[in-house]
Chain A
Amino acid sequence: MSAPRPTRPVAAVGVGQTPFGPTREAPTYVELLQRAAAQALESAALSIDDIDAIVLALAPESLMGVPHAERWCVEYLGAAMKPVLRIQTGGATGLSAVEAGYTHVASGLYDRVLVVGADRVRESGDAQKIFNKIWDPFYERGLPLTTITMIAMSAVRYMHNFGMTEEQMARVSQKAHHNGVLNPNAHIRREVTIEEVLESRYLAWPLKLLDACPQSAGGCAVVLSSADAVDRKSQDPAWISGHSMAGESYYIGDRLELSERGYDYGDAEALAAAAEHAYAMAGITDPAAQIDAVETYASFSPVEIHNAEALGLAERGTAGPMFEEGRFDLDGEIPINPSGGVICTNPISVTAMVRFVEAVLQVQGKAGPHQVEGAKTVVATGAGGSHQFFNVSVVTSEEPN
C-alpha cells in the first residue's frame, strides 16, 4: 500500500511553553494552560477568536485528581461553543494531540486549531504510585511492574542482546543534562558527569537516579494552520511532513519473544513501525542522511539508545558506542534531544508536545542556545503506556509537496 497523502499541508505557526519545574512552584493547572496558549497565540499573531477548534492534551487525569478535567477547562481556554476534544494516550498524549490537531486541519474542516495541554505531575503526590496501578492486576502488576522496572527489563534485554553498558547509558544522561543547561525552559538545568551518573543510587538495575526523568509541571501549546491560512508576513510556518502512531501489546509478557520482524522487548518495535509510516509520508528514505536532529521521548537513558535505532539513525545494536563517540551530541552528526529531552523535563501530558515544539523551534532557527545549526528536518517522538504507544512527527522548514 502506498504512503497516505494528506489532502492539504499543515503548518505549526505558533508555539508556547512555560518554564518547567517542580509542581510546588508552578501556577495552577488552568493557569499553565492559559499561559502556554497565550504564548502560542501571540507567536502566531492570532487571538483565541481566530481559532476554529481546540484539542486538549490531558494524560492520566489521576495525576491531577480530577477525572475528565477537560470538562471544566473549557471556560478557561475560551473554548465555549467551539469544537473541543481531548486526547489521552499516556505519555504519548502531547504528540497524539498534535496529530489530532493536524487531522482537523488536513481534513479541510478547519483552518486554525489550538493544541494545548499542561500537567502538574505531583499534584496528587507521587506520580509513581499512580503509575504502579496501570498494569493488569492479575498477571503483571505483582512482579512488581512499574514504569521504572518496565524500562529496566527492556534495558537488561538490550544489554543481553547487544552488550550495552551502564557507561553508555551514563553518557546519554551526561549529554542530556549538558543540553538541558542550554535550555531556559528545562526543569533540570545542571551538568552531571558520567561518574556522577554511575555513582547515583539504583532505582532498578541497571537504572540509576540520574538515568531517570523528573516529575515536572508546566504547559505547552501549538497553533496549527492550513497552508491557505498562513500569514507569511507575521508567521514563520514549520510544516508537518509526516506523522504516525503505533501501539504495542499491553502485556509485556507478550513482547518477550522475537516478533515477526525480529524485534524483542529490548527494542522499540512500535516506534520503528510509526517511524516507517511517518517517513513514508515525508519522503524520508535515508533517515541518517535526511534528518538533521531528533527530539525523542526517552524517559530513561537506555530508551534513547534503542530509540535511535528504531528511528533508523543507527543499525540495531550499534547506537550505544555511537553515543559514547559523541555522534548524537549537540555538535554531533545528528543531535538527539538538543533541548535536554525528557531526562531534564517531564510534564507528562505535554512531554511529547514539548518534543514537537522543540522540533518546530529548531527548523525555525529559534531554539536559542541549543539550536542545531542549519536544521531543516527534525523528528519528534512520543511514548506512552507500558512502553507501548509511540508516535513520530517529521517537522520540516519546507512545505511538503
Chain B
Amino acid sequence: MSAPRAVITGIGEAAAAPDDSLETMIFRAATAALTDGGRVRADLDGIVLAASDQTDGRAISSMLTAGPAGAYLNDEINVASSPGHALALGYMQILAGTHRCVLVSSWGKSSEAVGGSAPAERLSAEPFFERDGGLSDLGAAAMQAGVNRSRDPERAAAAAAAVVAKNRPGTTAAEVVASALVATPLHELEVAPEVDRSFSVLLERAADFAGAPALAGVGWRSDLGRVGERDLVGLPHLTAAAADAYARAGVADPGAEVGSWHLHDYTPDAEILAYGPLGICAAAEAFDHALRGDDRVNPDGGSLAGVAPFGGPMRTVIEAVRRAREGRARFSVAQLSTGFAGQFQTVAVVEAAA
C-alpha cells in the first residue's frame, strides 16, 4: 500500500454578493468546497483558517469567522500569518495522521473598509524604523519593482507590460504604460485591484488518489521583515520554499514537468521575479521569458485580474486544482505570498490523479 497522502477533494470560491456579510461570503465558499467534495460539515475533523484581524477589522477575527468556515465543536485553528501557511498546516495535519478531513479557508473583504485594506496594512510596518517612513503594500511592491527594473530599465518595463497584457484580458501593453503612475515605477494597471473573495480547499487523507488531485508537496519560507535588508529580486526564500515543495512532491525538473504555474502576481514584477526561483526559466532569462509570453503561467488571469486582500492568494491553489482536474499535465504549481513585497512565500504542488 502506498503512503497516505493529502488529496484535494473539494474546492470552493465565492465572490461577495451585494449585501453579503463577511461571514456569509465565507460560508458560501466553505459550503461550495464541501459540496464539491461530496462531504457535509459533520465529516470534517479539522478546520484551518487564515484569518487576519487587521484585514477583517476585528480583534479576534476567528471568533466570528470560524463558524461559517465549518467549525463547531470540532477541531479548529487559525493560522494568522498567511493563507499559504494555513494550507501548509492543513497539509501537515493530514500527513501527521491526526486528521482525515480538513477544510482550509481564507478570504478578504476590504470593501467594508474606507480606502480598502491599505490603511490597515500600513500599520503592520515595523513601528520604530519603517512605519514612519510610510511603508505600505504598494510602496514595498514599488520598491521591489524599482530594483527589478533598474537592472535593465527598458526591457524590464516592456516585460512588465507584457505580463499585465497576458494576465488582464483585454488590456494592451500600450494601455499599461499609458495608465497613471501610482508609485514609481508602477502604473495603475500594474497593481492588482482589490476584490472581495473567499476560498476553501477540502483536504482528505487517502492511500491513493484515484479521481482526485493530490496536494503532493508544500514548502514555505520566510525572509526578514525589513524590506530594506532583503534581496528583493533574488527571492532566496521563494527558492527555498520551491525546493522544499518540489522535493516533497517528487518534482525533479519543474520547467519540464509542471503544466501550469499559478502565481500571486501582486505586480507584474512579482511574477517575473518568481520565474527563476520556481524553475520556470533561468532567472537571467526572466525578462525575455516574459516578453515571449508563457501561457503556462497564470493561465487564468492571476492576481492582476483582481485579488482579495490577505486571503486572496489562495486563488492560486484553486486554479491549480482546476487545471489538475483537467489532467493535461501531471503537476500544477501554486505560489502564495504574504507581507510587504512577499516576505512569506509558500509553494504548493498539485498532482493530477493518475
Contact = CB atoms under 8 A, between A and B. Distances in A.
Given A248-B72, A250-B63, A86 B79 contact: yes
A134 interface: yes
B53 A61 contact: yes
Given A7-B96, A61-B53, A109-B92, A72 B62 contact: no
Contact of A87 (B77, B95, B121, B344): B77
B92 A89 contact: no
A67 B309 CA distance: 14
Interface stretch (B141-149, B158-166, B217-225, B275-283): B217-225
B100 A83 contact: no
Interface stretch (A37-45, A97-105, A164-172): A97-105
Given A61-B54, A67-B123, A85-B220, A4 B97 contact: yes
A103 B81 contact: no
A81 B237 contact: yes
A245 B77 contact: yes
Nearest to A245: B75
B76 A389 contact: yes
A277 interface: yes
Contact of B73 (A65, A88, A247): A247
B89 A81 contact: no
A73 B80 CA distance: 14
Interface hub of A4, A56, A73 (most chain B Cβ within 10 A): A4
B75 A248 contact: no
Contacts of B127: 65-66, 72
Interface stretch (A309-317, A363-371, A380-388): A380-388
Contacts of A4: 45, 97-100
Interface in A38-65: 56, 58-62, 65
A143 interface: no
Contact of A96 (B77, B120, B226): B77
Interface residues of B, number: 64
B307 interface: no
Interface string A109-150: 100000000000000000000110110100000000000000
A273 to B, nearest CB: 5
B210 to A, nearest CB: 22
A71 B237 contact: no
B345 to A, nearest CB: 10
B18 to A, nearest CB: 19
A107 interface: yes
Given A68-B54, A89-B77, A134 B59 contact: yes
B122 to A, nearest CB: 9
A91 B58 CA distance: 15
A161 interface: no
Contacts of B116: none
A100 B89 contact: yes
Given A246-B76, A248-B73, A88 B63 contact: no
Given A58-B80, A83-B220, A90-B60, A68 B52 contact: yes
B236 interface: yes
Contacts of B248: 109
Contacts of A67: 52-54, 120-121, 123-124
B51 interface: yes
Given A62-B53, A71-B225, A250 B343 contact: no
Interface string B35-54: 00000000001010001111
A81 B81 contact: no
A88 B51 contact: yes
A258 interface: no
Interface string B61-92: 01110110001111111111110010011011
B126 interface: yes
A389 B77 CA distance: 9
A250 B71 CA distance: 10
A83 B78 CA distance: 17
A79 B80 CA distance: 17
A85 B75 contact: no
A76 to B, nearest CB: 9
Contacts of A96: 77-78
A90 B209 CA distance: 36
A5 interface: yes
B17 to A, nearest CB: 20
When A and B form their complex, which 9 residue pairs have the shortest distance between CB atoms, in order from nearest?
A: A67-B54, A106-B96, A72-B225, A86-B81, A85-B85, A107-B92, A88-B80, A107-B95, A72-B126
Interface of A: 1, 4-7, 56, 58-62, 65-75, 79-90, 96, 99-100, 102-104, 106-109, 130-131, 133-134, 136, 244-250, 269-270, 273-274, 277, 281, 384-386, 388-389
6 contacts: A88-B78, A90-B60, A96-B77, A100-B89, A134-B58, A250-B66
